[in-house]
């Protein structure tokens, strides 16, 4: 079970975009995350008329390491660490480490 999932709202804790919030668009191989509007890079795109792609310089989100983001807790209005709790029936759920509350999706 991954601690960070697609659709989570996260806060960047280090790097050039420190403090920015965004939604996880994609989790790449359990250790990289693609966050909406964060870690923007300029990419030089070659035109491809067959696919209808126009050439030029485009802005694109690049992946971040998952250790550089924390899941946003709306109650405390901060990014917090996430743990995994196994319930009595054997099911797993993600919880915030500080409060023990379940992470709502």
Count the alpha carbons within 13 Å of 18 in the hemisphere toward its beta carbon. 4
- DSSP 8-state symbol, 8: -
Q: Enter the pTM of the model.
A: 0.84
Residue with tokens 């915030």: 96
Residues 46-78 pLDDT 10s: 999 999 999 999 999 999 999 999 999 999 999
* Gap between the Cα atoms of 62 and 72, Å rounded: 20
Give the chain's domains with CATH numbers. 9-45+54-96 (2.30.30.30)
Residues 10-36 pLDDT 10s: 999 999 999 999 999 999 988 999 999
């Amino acid at each position: 079970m991954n601690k960070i999932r697609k659709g989570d709202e996260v806060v960047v804790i280090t790097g050039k975009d420190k403090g920015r919030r965004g939604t996880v668009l994609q989790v790449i191989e359990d250790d990289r995350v693609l966050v909406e509007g964060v870690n923007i890079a300029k990419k030089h795109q070659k035109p491809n008329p067959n696919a209808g792609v126009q050439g030029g310089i485009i802005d694109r989100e690049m992946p971040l390491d998952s250790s550089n983001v924390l899941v946003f807790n709306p109650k405390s209005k901060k990014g917090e660490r996430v743990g995994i709790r196994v319930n009595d029936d054997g099911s797993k759920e993600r919880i915030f480490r500080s409060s023990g509350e379940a992470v709502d999706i």
